[in-house]
C-alpha cells in the first residue's frame, strides 16, 4: 500500500513538472496587435514650420505609430524610444501612437494634433521640454507693492518678449498682471498662478507667484 501511494505521488509530481516546463517553454508571446491601451491622451497641438521637427519625451516603449496624412508630416521612433515628427507640407493632421513611461505601466493611446504653417530656411528641432511657452524661471517671489516682468521666455524653443503674449492672473487680489506687458504687481501675501498665452500657437505657460 505504501509503495502504491509513493508511485501515485511520483506520478503527480512528474505531471506538475511537465506542466510547468510546458508553460515556460511553449507559451505564445503576446504581439503588439494583441495589446490593449489602458487609457487615452490627447496632447496639446503642435505648430511647426516645414523642414522642422518635434521630438517627444523618452518613453519605455512605443508601438502603433500612425500618421493620418503623410503629405503634411512624417513620423518615426528613434533609438531612445522618442517619437520624431517632421513637417513636410502645409496643413493640419494628427499623429497617434501607443506609449508607456515604464515597463510596468499600461499602454496609453496618445494623439498629437499637428499644424504645419510657413517654411523654415534650415532644419530645426523642437524638443518636448521646449514645446509651448517656457520660462527660464517658473517660480517667482514678489514683495507687496513690488513688480516683476519675466524675461528669457521661449515659444517652441524660439525666444520672445513678454509683450508678445497675453497675460492673466488666477488671483488679482494676490498678484495682478498687465494683460499686454506681462508686468506682475504684488498686492497681498499669498500665492497665485499667472498664465501667459501665445496668440499665434495658442500655447499656454504659467508662473507660480508668491507674494510676501
Which residues touch 180 (CB under 8 Å, ≥6 apart)? Answer: 163, 166, 167
Quote helix, strand, coil % in the chain, to nearest 5: 15, 50, 35
Tell me the mean pLDDT in the region 90-95: 95
Is the same domain home to 113 and 188?
no
In the prediction, which pLDDT does 124 show? 65
Mean pLDDT over the full length of the chain: 81
Has residue 166 been placed in a domain? yes
Rounded-to-integer distance, Cα 113 and Cα 206, Å? 22
Q: Of 127, 153, 185, which marks where a domain is finished?
A: 127
Local confidence band at 197 (pLDDT 50, 70, 90 cut-offs): confident
Q: Of 60, 95, 127, which marks where a domain is finished?
A: 127
Tell me the mean pLDDT in the region 137-157: 92
Is the same domain home to 111 and 192?
no
- Percentage with pLDDT > 90 across the chain: 39
In the prediction, which pLDDT does 91 show? 94
Please say whether the beta carbons of 126 and 157 come within 8 A.
yes
Rounded-to-integer distance, Cα 80 and Cα 128, Å? 14
Burial of 80 (0-12, 13-18, 19+ CB in 10 A): exposed
CA angle 70, 75, 78 (to 5 degrees): 160
Is the same domain home to 59 and 101?
yes
Tell me: pLDDT of 1 over 60.
Answer: no
Q: Of 105, 127, 149, which marks where a domain is finished?
A: 127
Range of the domain at 57: 35-127
Has residue 28 been placed in a domain? no
Tell me the mean pLDDT in the region 202-208: 83
β-strands 83-87, 73-77: how paired?
A: antiparallel
In the prediction, which pLDDT does 48 show? 87
Q: What count of Cα atoms within 13 Å lies in the side-chain half-sphere of residue 14?
A: 6
Is the same domain home to 73 and 140?
no
Tell me the mean pLDDT in the region 138-144: 94
Has residue 24 been placed in a domain? no
Q: Look at 185 and 125; give whichever has higher pLDDT.
A: 185
Has residue 89 been placed in a domain? yes
Q: Where are the alpha helices (DSSP H) in the chain?
A: 2-25
The cell numbers describing 148, all together, are: 516683476
Q: What count of Cα atoms within 13 Å lies in the side-chain half-sphere of residue 185?
A: 9
Is the same domain home to 88 and 144?
no
Is the same domain home to 122 and 147?
no
Number of folded domains in the chain?
2
State pLDDT tens for residues 160-179. Answer: 999 999 898 989 999 999 98
Is the same domain home to 60 and 102?
yes
Local confidence band at 126 (pLDDT 50, 70, 90 cut-offs): low
In the prediction, which pLDDT does 135 show? 92
Is the same domain home to 181 and 103?
no
Tell me the mean pLDDT in the region 186-198: 91
The cell numbers describing 29, all together, are: 508571446
In order of 106, 131, 134, the CA distances from 204 in angstroms are: 29, 10, 9
In the prediction, which pLDDT does 188 show? 96
In order of 35, 51, 141, 147, the CA distances from 64 in angstroms are: 10, 24, 45, 49
Is the same domain home to 43 and 123?
yes
State pLDDT tens for residues 11-68. Answer: 444 444 444 433 433 333 334 456 788 899 998 888 888 878 888 888 999 999 999 9
CATH number at 184 reads: 2.60.40.1080
The winner for highest mean pLDDT among 67-76, 92-101, 114-123 is 92-101
Amino acid at each position: 500500500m505504501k509503495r502504491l501511494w509513493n508511485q501515485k505521488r511520483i506520478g503527480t509530481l512528474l505531471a506538475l513538472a511537465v506542466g510547468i516546463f510546458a508553460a515556460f517553454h511553449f507559451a505564445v508571446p503576446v504581439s503588439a496587435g494583441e495589446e490593449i491601451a489602458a487609457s487615452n491622451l490627447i496632447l496639446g497641438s503642435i505648430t511647426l514650420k516645414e523642414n522642422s521637427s518635434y521630438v517627444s519625451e523618452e518613453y519605455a516603449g512605443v508601438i502603433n505609430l500612425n500618421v493620418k496624412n503623410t503629405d503634411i508630416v512624417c513620423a518615426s521612433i528613434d533609438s531612445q524610444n522618442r517619437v520624431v515628427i517632421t513637417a513636410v507640407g502645409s496643413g493640419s493632421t494628427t499623429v497617434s501612437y501607443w506609449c508607456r513611461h515604464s515597463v510596468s505601466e499600461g499602454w496609453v493611446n496618445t494623439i498629437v494634433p499637428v499644424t504645419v504653417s510657413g517654411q523654415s530656411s534650415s532644419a530645426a528641432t523642437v524638443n518636448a521640454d521646449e514645446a509651448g511657452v517656457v520660462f527660464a524661471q517658473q517660480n517667482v517671489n514678489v514683495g507687496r507693492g513690488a513688480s516683476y516682468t519675466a524675461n528669457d521666455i521661449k515659444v517652441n524653443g524660439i525666444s520672445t518678449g513678454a509683450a508678445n503674449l497675453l497675460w492673466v492672473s488666477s488671483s488679482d487680489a494676490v498678484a495682478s498682471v498687465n494683460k499686454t506687458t506681462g508686468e506682475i504687481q504684488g498686492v497681498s501675501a499669498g500665492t497665485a498662478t499667472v498664465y501667459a498665452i501665445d496668440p499665434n500657437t495658442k500655447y499656454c505657460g504659467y508662473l507660480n507667484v508668491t507674494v510676501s
